[in-house]
A and B are shown apart, each in its own frame.
Chain A
Amino acid sequence: MDDLPVMQFQDVVKVYPLPAGDVTALDGVSFRVGRGEFISVMGPSGSGKSTLLNLMGCLDTPTSGDIYISGIRVGDMPDTELTSLRRDRIGFIFQYFNLFPLLNIIENVTFPMMLKTGKGVDPERGKEVLRAVQLDDKLFTHTPTELSGGQQQRVAVARALINNPDILLCDEPTGNLDSKTGAGIMDLMTELNRKGTTIIMVTHDPHLAEYSRRTIRIVDGRIVG
């Protein structure tokens, strides 16, 4: 089982049909991500980076080719199964943190777990993960708007980790932070990866890519190295 890639793309093509003509965003992309890897995906805007991110995050399905998440073929899954896959196997970290303003920090963190179990979750479980991302205990019952950007992103990382996902998928995780705070988040990522978490990070920042151990470069919908 251990040599099974957590993510595998096989000749993936994504075409957006538009009235002015079809747009091929991804054109035969293939790669595999092994367990415990830390990969950055780089490319200029318009290169197909966002499309790749959506496919990796199971928010979309390919026009042709195959995507496997821990051996499960995503293919033309119905929405319900695709949603369950996102919930159970993928942890999302966004550029704009994207916490829920109506929920406090612990509720934000345990939200995906409540989705998974369909019932209330012991707040202790949330606290545990929040401590792992080095967030101060005093902040646990605050609302997201009362936290700094760096603190919010730590909460977002905790939320992404709560269901023990196969992959942590980050979209410009420091893009909305100053360089010092951003470095703190990247240190946290490195630490998580060292403990075994598989991380795929989409970025256009070469400095950020230095934290990863492998870089996939994408230009015009193709992997160039």
Chain B
Amino acid sequence: MIFWEIAKRNIRIHLLRSSLAMLGIVIGVVAISTMGILGNSMVLSVSDSLRTVGDSVIVTPHAGGNARGFGGGGSTSLTISEQDFQQIKRVSAPNVAIPVLQTSDRMKLGVGKDDIVTILYGMNPDDVPDMLKLQEGDYSRGNSGCLVGATFAKDNNVKVGSRISIGTDGDKGTLRVTGIIEERGMAFDVSTDSAVVTTKDWFDTTYNRDDYDKVVVKVKDLNQIASVKTAIEKQMNRRDTTVDVMDTRKTMETIFQAFGQITTFVSAIGGISMIVAGVSILNIMMMSVTERIKEIGIMRSIGAQRREVMSMFLYEAAILGVAGSIIGGLLSFLGGYAISSLMLQTTKYLFVPSTMIHIVYGMAFGIFVCLICGIYPAWRAANLNPIEALRHE
């Protein structure tokens, strides 16, 4: 249509000022999109490192409660008794309840080396494969074997087959490393990266224990997490609060929510630059209308309808908006790629819909702002009095 053609040509003859106005839109789109890309990539990256523990309900003794509702004897430390564990196991079924023992102790990693202090976990050998993945070696079946975390292995130069003497001067015996646990990152259940995992039997005997420090319930169907949590709480805390139950997914959701809010906030700051760009679009559109009052008058007098004049100016705003948004979208992609590879050292979080959608959001907002800012000038042009416009010099 001829008005589309006129809009195009008008932008072309005012290329410099059109480009400058478009640049504003480009910056706006880039600001919004890259912030969104970065935020979402970070959420994905964090959720990836937390995903392994996102399916757990963790039961710990309630601090400050009156210890031992039933059984257990006179222990003063905060633990979960065998009976309590059995109850948790029963209400959590068919999900797996994994009891975990935990302490810290000195150990020596070879003759002549200094003692170090690290965390020791005790777990049933049958439970270990449900919770921990190995990067090297095998799960230990016997009581003289142990697993070590990836960071621990790296820091202390420990390999499969290495021997670790536990206790001061090895008075608690020596364990052989049978496997190295894959890095798990920050975890809510067990943080094994810098720890040693032994068998429950060895732990019981060595530290003289008959109870547990925590119970981790692995929930198969993530939708059941909340109901498992409620069931445990109902069973265990009927009379007194004896345990605290943490739902890791809930915790993760809180973290992601916080991330999401940060992303939104930063994108909103990007949005301000878009509004500034919108004002410059409004400005050049007003200029365009003022310069062409006479032309509008001629058009109207030889039979152009108001809406046709309006469409001509809206086309102009749309061209600026679409072109600026496309350029901005491309730059956002490149920028997002650069930021991802520099800051997150990976671009795998870029090529997913939830990240890419931010480019679409940015572009859509850019076009929207342009059209909104084009409406008033276009309306002004369309409603000029043709007689006065014709007389305008």
Chain A interface (Cβ < 8 Å from any Cβ of B): 54, 57, 59-60, 79-80, 83-84, 86-88, 92, 94, 98, 100-103, 107, 111-112, 114-116, 118-120, 159-160, 163
Contacts and interface: CB of A to CB of B under 8 A. Distances in A.
Contact of A60 (B2, B305, B306, B387): B387
A159 B1 contact: no
B304 A83 contact: yes
Contact of B6 (A87, A100, A160): A100
Contacts of A87: 302-304
Contacts of B298: 94, 98, 100
Interface in B343-361: none
Chain B: number of interface residues, binned into ranges = 20 to 34
Contact of B387 (A59, A98, A101, A111): A59
Given A94-B298, A111-B2, A112-B302, 6 more contacts: A83-B304, A83-B305, A84-B305, A87-B303, A107-B2, A160-B302
Nearest to B297: A98
A102 B387 contact: no
B224 interface: no
A223 B295 CA distance: 32
Interface string B289-308: 00000110011111111101
Nearest to B383: A79
Contact of A88 (B1, B6, B303): B303
Given A98-B298, A119-B1, A80 B6 contact: no
B382 to A, nearest CB: 10
Interface of B: 1-2, 5-6, 9-10, 13, 294-295, 298-306, 308, 386-387, 390
B20 to A, nearest CB: 20
A59 B295 contact: no
A114 B2 contact: yes
A138 B6 CA distance: 23
A80 B305 contact: yes
B301 A86 contact: yes
7 contacts: A59-B390, A60-B387, A80-B306, A98-B298, A111-B302, A112-B302, A115-B305
A86 B9 contact: no
Given A102-B9, A107-B2, A115-B308, A83 B387 contact: no
Contacts of A100: 6, 295, 298-299
B10 A102 contact: yes
Report the 4 A-B pairs with minimum CB-CB distance, sorted nearest first: A87-B303, A102-B9, A98-B298, A114-B2
Nearest to A89: B303
A87 B13 CA distance: 28
A54 B387 contact: yes
B8 to A, nearest CB: 9
Nearest to A119: B1
Nearest to B391: A50
A86 B299 CA distance: 11
Contacts of A59: 301, 386-387, 390
A69 B42 CA distance: 71
Nearest to A163: B303
A16 B220 CA distance: 84
Nearest to B393: A96
A92 B301 contact: yes
A88 B298 CA distance: 15
A32 B129 CA distance: 104
B303 A102 contact: no
Contacts of B387: 54, 59-60
Nearest to A101: B295
A118 B4 CA distance: 12
B13 A102 contact: yes
A103 B299 CA distance: 12
Contacts of A94: 298, 390
Given A59-B386, A103-B6, A159 B302 contact: yes
Contact of B304 (A115, A120, A159, A160): A115
A60 B301 CA distance: 10
Contacts of A80: 305-306
Nearest to B307: A80
Highest count of chain A CB atoms <10 Å: which of B1, B299, B303, B306: B303
A103 B308 CA distance: 16
B303 A84 contact: yes
Contacts of B304: 83, 87, 115
A83 B300 contact: yes
B303 A83 contact: yes
A119 to B, nearest CB: 7
Nearest to B300: A83
A107 B304 CA distance: 15
Nearest to A114: B2
Nearest to B304: A115
A60 B385 CA distance: 10
A64 B301 CA distance: 22
A7 B80 CA distance: 104
A102 B301 contact: no
Contacts of A102: 6, 9-10, 13
